[in-house]
A and B are shown apart, each in its own frame.
Chain A
């Protein structure tokens, strides 16, 4: 079991000093995934006012750090290719503060780059693993199939109509946030509740507009000690709490289809932070699907199991509302190259630094970012403060 007393000693000792996307996100066929990694890394270092030669810890997912380090041009003394889906980059934050506090490295670079839309060399999974052996032959393949099986069970347990209304509200409100973000894929395109309900079925109960985008994008994060953060160009964002874990790989092995591992990682990150969940000013929740947001909010503890639909409709999650959620436009409407988790952090840091321009929210001091990876398999929660 995690030792909360030890973890509390780590709370607030490290800071994020740089974040960035790659120069372009969305449709970027002219750049390789490695180029997206490197571009984001250089941009994040620039944001921090650090140099490539400062980096001594490297973290990435979907790739070996061997290839990423060589391409970018770093020689890390701490190396971590933990790859458990889109939550991985949020997990890397937990790993980076552990590595830095133990003395393995001082400046951690987390990179992401993926050409989900334009990749010339997409990867496949090992054909002997149980998921491929027992689910693929039946056409239970990929996230929409698997997440829709979980959502269908949730609807059965907690009511189809109220779940549907909540999912529609997530889709429409997230689009409204995207309409304020010039980098968002759907910056110029609105969405009504009718658009949502009329969009075609992908895998019932998911409409097309329940599903995230498939884009090309990179992003990177720089983490260091509070001491070295004083040399950064901007004020550092404190890492207050972290939690990570997973409880299955393929959907048919999920212990409870209506509860992802956020039930562990959310409460841990909040307790480690020493804050109350009600103090969170911004929630950045990985939205592979509208349903992922709904169930994650419950798992983390914003409301009780099955009460997500009421919570979402009582609160207001759209711009100007009292519960700012996925304010970059999310994986649903901003960008989702395949593993989106890192972008929840990029946006949280921008909001905490008060640099989110016309989508800035007032008095944003505490943010929670939550990643979900695989097939509702892995989760990671991070609490950030300024």
Chain B
């Protein structure tokens, strides 16, 4: 763990504390509608499918597939200068919701990526308060 971590960190809101606290314990908690079993990401206080409060938190494995990706060569902030090229991705959890993340443990070259490829979660502790959810090829 580094103390000099200077990239943007999440500022959790009350409705998302459970998600961020879960990651610290290597757990992935997401919300689903208890009426229709549709998942929603990111956490909210209401169900976006019904404008009701029929949401429940469920723990998922993080098994997922690559929905899309891009390889960043030009750092969007100074704090990412040492990281380029890095891989941005939208990852589709097997349960359905799409979440933003990075793909790690892979050479950042388009020939190594196939949309639809299977992924596993990687929990990256960035400081004592935050763990980010990244993914690697399964």
Residues of A within 8 A of B (CB): 127-128, 130, 132-142, 144-145, 148-153, 156, 200-206, 250-252, 257
Q: Evaluate contact between B102 and A138: CB separation under 8 angstroms.
A: yes
Chain B neighbourhood of A250, CB < 8 A: 100
Q: Evaluate contact between B13 and A203: CB separation under 8 angstroms.
A: no
What residue in chain A is nearest B130 (Cβ atoms)?
A137
Q: Evaluate contact between A251 and B73: CB separation under 8 angstroms.
A: no
Chain B neighbourhood of A151, CB < 8 A: 70
Chain A neighbourhood of B10, CB < 8 A: 132-134, 136-137
Distance, CA A201 to CA B11, complexed state (A): 31
Chain A neighbourhood of B61, CB < 8 A: none
Say yes or no for B39: interface residue by CB 8 A criterion: no
Chain A neighbourhood of B9, CB < 8 A: 137
Q: Evaluate contact between A139 and B67: CB separation under 8 angstroms.
A: no
Chain A neighbourhood of B110, CB < 8 A: 204-205
Residues of B within 8 A of A (CB): 7-13, 16, 42, 67-77, 80, 83, 85-86, 88-90, 98-102, 110, 115, 126, 130, 132, 134
Q: Evaluate contact between A133 and B99: CB separation under 8 angstroms.
A: no
Give the A-B contact count at a CB cut-off of 8 A.
107
A–B complex contacts, Cβ < 8 Å, 25 sampled: A130-B42, A132-B10, A133-B11, A133-B16, A134-B42, A134-B100, A138-B102, A139-B72, A140-B88, A145-B70, A145-B72, A145-B76, A148-B88, A149-B68, A149-B88, A149-B89, A153-B68, A153-B90, A201-B73, A201-B74, A201-B85, A202-B73, A204-B70, A204-B110, A251-B90
Chain A neighbourhood of B130, CB < 8 A: 137
Distance, CA A127 to CA B10, complexed state (A): 8
**Distance between A190 CB and nearest chain B CB, rounded to angstroms:** 24
Q: Evaluate contact between A252 and B71: CB separation under 8 angstroms.
A: no
Distance, CA A136 to CA B8, complexed state (A): 6
Distance, CA A145 to CA B42, complexed state (A): 19
**Distance between A376 CB and nearest chain B CB, rounded to angstroms:** 13
Other 20 A-B pairs with CB < 8 A, given A132-B8, A132-B10, A203-B88 = A127-B11, A128-B13, A137-B7, A137-B9, A137-B132, A139-B7, A139-B76, A139-B77, A139-B86, A141-B77, A149-B68, A152-B69, A153-B67, A153-B90, A156-B68, A200-B73, A201-B74, A204-B73, A251-B100, A257-B68
**Distance between A164 CB and nearest chain B CB, rounded to angstroms:** 12
Greatest chain A CB density within 10 A among B8, B72, B83, B102 is at B72
Distance, CA A127 to CA B9, complexed state (A): 9
**Distance between B130 CB and nearest chain A CB, rounded to angstroms:** 8
**Distance between A135 CB and nearest chain B CB, rounded to angstroms:** 5
Distance, CA A359 to CA B70, complexed state (A): 36
**Distance between B10 CB and nearest chain A CB, rounded to angstroms:** 5
Greatest chain B CB density within 10 A among A139, A141, A145, A200 is at A139
Q: Evaluate contact between B68 and A144: CB separation under 8 angstroms.
A: no
Chain A neighbourhood of B132, CB < 8 A: 137-138
Q: Evaluate contact between B42 and A141: CB separation under 8 angstroms.
A: no
